[in-house]
A and B are shown apart, each in its own frame.
Chain A
Amino acid sequence: MIPISAYLIVAAVLFGIGTVGVLISRNMIVVFMCVELMLNAANLALIAFSRALNIMDGHVFVFLALAVAAAEAAVGLAIVLAVYRNRETVNIDRFDMMKW
């Protein structure tokens, strides 16, 4: 059998890649996708722990996290559309109107 730490390391690597993407990407939509990837990495860790502990509560957490991810994507993309209408760009460096 595969040890739980193998799955956790895969989850950690996916989370790290998501972090790199959030930091280096200038495209706001890609930044959103990287956030989704990080959410999924956490989901993978939850499912691995759930399987190792032999209780299914982790599955419920992942289910709820999927619902939150869907809500986040809908609202986030609406924000992207609204900002794009004002700025004609999705370059995240130019989204500084709330910067003091």
Chain B
Amino acid sequence: MSLDVIIFVISAIVAVFGATMMIAQRNAVASVLYLILSLVAQAVLYIQLNALFLAALLIIIYTGAILVLFLFVIMLLNLRGSEELVDKSSSLGRVTKYLVSFLLVLELVFVVRSSFFPSSVGGGVMTSVKSTGFGSVEGVATLLFTRYLYPFELTSILLLAAIVGAVVMAKRERNATAPAPREDNVTEEVKR
């Protein structure tokens, strides 16, 4: 086994393990930490696929921003693993959920296994990269600011809309009646 294969197998196993533990945990904070583990393993896979810039972005944006936001909200709401959050559906319903998901994975794997990769995709085998700048900041930026300039500018509008939407949604109404002390804490944190 070459080093490539060993790295792939280890990071794939860690990614799947982290994802599985994430949904198995009752404590939401532990779920976030397992998701971070899974995402770091996925970043290793990105690096193996020569997507160096995106691997760095995945770690910076996801673990640095999005998951910290999740942690903030979990701690604001002071959530503990309570019995109330356990799945209370019948055993038939639970089996159906697993079965449907398993069939979905089976279907996807079957499509991948049976699909015909034309020679332009290297017949399904990775060919060596053509240019040395593949996946670099320069390569991504060149595409982003030439061919995909319009979608890139639209992203800024999307982010602006998201910011405004988040502020409007998280803001408490002025005439809210009888605020509990805990609610006060929540709003104070959000306003900050």
**A96 located at the interface, meaning its Cβ lies under 8 Å from any Cβ of chain B in the complex:** no
**CB of A8 to closest CB in B, whole Å:** 4
Q: Which of B49, B105, B120, B183 is A85 in contact with, Cβ under 8 Å?
A: B183
- A64–B94 contact, CB under 8 A? no
For the residues of B in contact with A, the DSSP-based class is: helix
Q: Which residue of B lies closest to A51 (CB)?
A: B49
**A97 located at the interface, meaning its Cβ lies under 8 Å from any Cβ of chain B in the complex:** no
For the residues of A in contact with B, the DSSP-based class is: helix
**CB of A61 to closest CB in B, whole Å:** 9
If A10-B16, A14-B19, A78-B166 touch, whether A1 touches B79 (CB-CB below 8 Å) is no
**CB within 8 Å: A-B pair count:** 250
**Binary CB contact string for chain B from 50 to 79 against chain A (1 if under 8 A, 0 otherwise):** 110110011001100110011001101101
A71–B124 Cα distance when bound, in Å, is 34
A93–B109 Cα distance when bound, in Å, is 32
- A5–B124 contact, CB under 8 A? yes
- List chain A residues, Cβ under 8 A from B42: 14, 40, 44
- B45–A29 contact, CB under 8 A? no
A27–B12 Cα distance when bound, in Å, is 26
**Binary CB contact string for chain A from 53 to 89 against chain B (1 if under 8 A, 0 otherwise):** 1101101101110111111111101111110110001
Residue tally, chain B, CB below 8 Å to A: 91
Q: Which residue of A lies closest to B23 (CB)?
A: A21
- A36–B57 contact, CB under 8 A? no
- List chain B residues, Cβ under 8 A from A69: 61-62, 66
- A20–B23 contact, CB under 8 A? yes
B residues lining the A interface (CB < 8 Å): 4-5, 8, 12, 15-16, 19-20, 22-23, 28, 31-32, 35, 38-39, 42, 45-46, 48-51, 53-54, 57-58, 61-62, 65-66, 69-70, 73-74, 76-77, 79, 84-88, 94, 97-98, 100-102, 104-105, 108-109, 112-113, 115, 117, 120-122, 124-127, 129-130, 134-135, 139-140, 143-144, 147-148, 151-152, 155, 158-159, 161-163, 165-167, 169-170, 172, 183, 186, 190
19 A-B pairs with C-beta separation under 8 A: A5-B113, A6-B12, A12-B108, A15-B105, A16-B105, A17-B23, A19-B104, A20-B97, A26-B85, A33-B35, A37-B22, A51-B134, A56-B135, A56-B139, A64-B148, A64-B151, A81-B190, A90-B77, A90-B79
A residues lining the B interface (CB < 8 Å): 1-10, 12-21, 23-27, 29-30, 32-34, 36-37, 40, 43-44, 47-54, 56-57, 59-60, 62-64, 66-75, 77-82, 84-85, 89-91, 93
